[in-house]
Structure 1
Amino acid sequence: MIDCFATPKRTVTAFAGAAVVLLGFLSQPTLAGDPFRTSNPRAIGDNTETAFELIFKDGDYKKAKDYLQKAESTEGNEPLVYALLASLSYLDAKSQSKPNFDSFKTYASKTRTTAEKLAATDSLRGNLYMAVGHFLEGAADFEQDGPVRAVSKLQKVFEYLDEAKKSDPNDPEFNLITGYMDLMLAVNLPFSDPAQAIQKLENYGYPKYLSYRGIAVGKRDLKKYDEALDYVNRALQLTPNNPEVLYLKAQILVRQDKDKEALDYFNQSLAKQTQLPNYSAAQITYERCKVQNSLDNGSRDCRAERNKVRAGNN
């Protein structure tokens, strides 16, 4: 694992941001409500699986929330339910003028405590989601109290990930989640090599639409734009209507100085903005506005447009 304690503030900033990407980016497996495995599935639950696919395959957070509320009452022994609810709560809080992260922290803690119970019967997933729970709690501490308290969570994250790995280092769920974590930390920390994280997502991560999406994000941040475009196109082949993947392609095209082509993908993404949390839709609106200004030599107030959407006035 990366020695994160040498640069705690920068590390925890990446740590907090990665929480959104992770739980904030195909085949269609239906075995036992398990979206991660095509063989030896876990009984994760149908409502949880549907919510997962609505968020990450379709980019429809609004419908997903309904299924997560059902899952909370019928599949409440599944830590993924609370990890996804934590992600939605985080995005809701970020949309507020005075963010309140109490709900986010509550769901983060439920992720951890539910995982502790699961570990008695499923060491891999129990330890994996104990790591995720500590990860999310660290992000909550970062938002509320700054980096000092959050840093203490990092050791726990790595400790439980190491325990999960002992059960099956090639497990697709383990590699998808840790691949995203490692990649987000690697592209934000000096002297870190993201190659191992990318290889993990490429070789073992599943579902593939999320693996390809994660690799595209990593390649984008590494400024390998041609490779990023290749992987986002692979993700789009599997999830052609996901507004967040359309947005990711728009971002990559902007970095390739293809503003006109990028604008089309921003527009396609925003055509589905009612599916997205206000915070996400507002950021897409802001970046689209900047591209439109560049193309038109315009002077639209992009911050005002962003803030209007963030407040729900879209």
Structure 2
Amino acid sequence: MIARFIKVQQMYLSISMACTAILNIWGGPSFAGDPFRKDDSRNIGDQTEAAFIAVFHEGNYSKAQAYLEEAVKKEVNEPLAHAMQASLAYSNGDLGSMNTHAQQTLKAARRLIEEDPLRGNLYLAVGHFLEGAYTFKVKGAIGAVNKLPQVFSYLDEAEKQDPNDPELNLLKGYLDLILAVNLPFSSPEDAIIRFERYAAPDYMVSRAISAAYRDLKDYDKALRSIDRALESNTNNPEVQYLKGQILLNIGIKNQDSENLQEAFTYFERAMIRIEQLPVSVQTSLRHDYNKVQLEMDKLATKLN
């Protein structure tokens, strides 16, 4: 149980942001439209939308932070903005701010629930998971694991409102993928099929599926998915980093210098924009950047 929660809590913080990231990546921040729905749209606020564009199109978290600071003041009733702030704070190791914004996510969701029970329940689930992740960091796993039933309960309530809602299905689909990849006797392929069918947009779907296949060590499928994500986000350093990770794994597995060299190229591209990434991602990227160079040196020595 503890090992499962560690994996889930590490990944869910990115999910709490990713579930907000259904956006028109060619759009600008001046139109505060609904980035999730074509019909029955909601207004998320232009500052929040601008933060989406900065994070998920550009991979620029420092730029997004400036937008979010305005969003949580001017769009205080939008739980998405608070959830993103909590996630960014966690990524940068600021647990105090993370907890504050997790509480604000819950408050905004409770205010929203009468007007919009689907989104209200959805972000109550997000808020409780953020609380659980905070509890895990400061008190340990037992109290945090106890949060999971609340998360699933609120997701079930949201699903009763509209099981086909794209915002709900993106978040729930991410969670299904994580559990399917990490739990025994589960069916990752079934979760992936459901995610492809009901979640959107293609960029976020492709990126999530690529990470799932990477964790399943099915690197050929992971590459196909990440290449689809790169088509519309060529210069996003996080997407470049994910492709580099996949190529690094292939290169180590097959002892293939070409894959290792290509992984190094993608890590180099991501390193150009490393300062715009969260601290935790910077640390991981630097580690893998050094690792691929060591692997290339080891393979060259072996071949010589």
> TM-score, normalising length from structure 1?
0.86
Does structure 1 residue 76 correspond to structure 2 residue 73?
A: no
Give, in whole Å, the separation in 2 of the partners of 1:92 and 1:160.
Answer: 28
Question: RCO higher in 1 or 2 (8 Å CA, sep ≥ 6)?
Answer: 1
- The Cα shift of 1:29 comes to 7.2
Aligned to 1:140: 134
**For each residue in 1:130-179, what CA deviation from the matched residue of structure 2 results, as whole angstroms up to 9, or x when unmatched?**
00001111111111111110111100000000010111111111111111
More displaced 10-residue stretch of structure 1: 77-86 or 255-264: 255-264
Does structure 1 residue 37 correspond to structure 2 residue 30?
A: no
Give, in whole Å, the separation in 1 of the partners of 2:53 and 2:286.
Answer: 24
Confirm or deny: 8 A CA contact 1:175 1:201 kept in the other structure. yes
Aligned to 2:164: 170
More displaced 10-residue stretch of structure 1: 11-20 or 150-159: 11-20
- The Cα shift of 1:20 comes to 2.8
Does structure 1 residue 228 correspond to structure 2 residue 225?
A: no
Does structure 1 residue 297 correspond to structure 2 residue 276?
A: no
SS at the partner of 1:17?
A: helix
Aligned to 1:150: 144
Does structure 1 residue 102 correspond to structure 2 residue 102?
A: no
Confirm or deny: 8 A CA contact 1:29 1:38 kept in the other structure. no
Give, in whole Å, the separation in 2 of the partners of 1:197 and 1:225.
Answer: 18
Does structure 1 residue 260 correspond to structure 2 residue 261?
A: yes
Give, in whole Å, the separation in 2 of the partners of 1:29 and 1:259.
Answer: 33
Aligned pairs for 1:184-195 within 5 A: 184-195=178-189
Identity %: 46
Aligned to 2:207: 213
- The Cα shift of 1:106 comes to 1.4
Equivalent AA in structure 1 for residue 40 of structure 2? N
SS at the partner of 1:291?
A: helix
- The Cα shift of 1:217 comes to 0.5
State the 4+ residue runs in structure 1 displaced beyond 6 angstroms.
Answer: none
Does structure 1 residue 13 correspond to structure 2 residue 6?
A: yes
SS at the partner of 1:187?
A: helix
Confirm or deny: 8 A CA contact 2:17 2:83 kept in the other structure. no
**For each residue in 1:94-152, what CA deviation from the matched residue of structure 2 results, as whole angstroms up to 9, or x when unmatched?**
xxxxxx52211111121112101111111111100000001111111111111110111
Aligned pairs for 1:198-209 within 5 A: 198-209=192-203
Confirm or deny: 8 A CA contact 1:32 1:41 kept in the other structure. no
Confirm or deny: 8 A CA contact 1:139 1:150 kept in the other structure. yes
**For each residue in 1:2-32, what CA deviation from the matched residue of structure 2 results, as whole angstroms up to 9, or x when unmatched?**
xxxxx2x123212211223313558537564
- The Cα shift of 1:199 comes to 2.3
Give, in whole Å, the separation in 2 of the partners of 1:203 and 1:238.
Answer: 20
Equivalent AA in structure 1 for residue 261 of structure 2? K
Task: Kindly report the root-mean-square deviation, in angstroms, between the aligned alpha carbons of the 2 structures.
Answer: 1.7
**For each residue in 1:269-304, what CA deviation from the matched residue of structure 2 results, as whole angstroms up to 9, or x when unmatched?**
111112112221121011010111111239xxxxxx
**Runs of 5+ in structure 2 lacking a partner?**
252-258, 300-304
Confirm or deny: 8 A CA contact 2:25 2:57 kept in the other structure. no
**Runs of 5+ in structure 1 lacking a partner?**
1-6, 94-99, 299-314
Give, in whole Å, the separation in 1 of the partners of 2:176 and 2:10.
Answer: 12
Does structure 1 residue 129 correspond to structure 2 residue 123?
A: yes
SS at the partner of 1:121?
A: coil
Q: 2:25 aligns with which of 25, 28, 43?
A: 28
SS at the partner of 2:226?
A: helix
Confirm or deny: 8 A CA contact 1:138 1:150 kept in the other structure. yes
> TM-score, normalising length from structure 2?
0.89
Give, in whole Å, the separation in 2 of the partners of 1:106 and 1:27.
Answer: 29
Equivalent AA in structure 2 for residue 235 of structure 1? A
**For each residue in 1:28-87, what CA deviation from the matched residue of structure 2 results, as whole angstroms up to 9, or x when unmatched?**
375643222233321111110110121112100000000001111110100001100001
How many residues end up aligned between the 2 structures? 285
Give, in whole Å, the separation in 2 of the partners of 1:237 and 1:47.
Answer: 26
Give, in whole Å, the separation in 2 of the partners of 1:29 and 1:45.
Answer: 17
**For each residue in 1:218-270, what CA deviation from the matched residue of structure 2 results, as whole angstroms up to 9, or x when unmatched?**
11111111111001000000211110000000011112111111100000111
- The Cα shift of 1:186 comes to 2.0
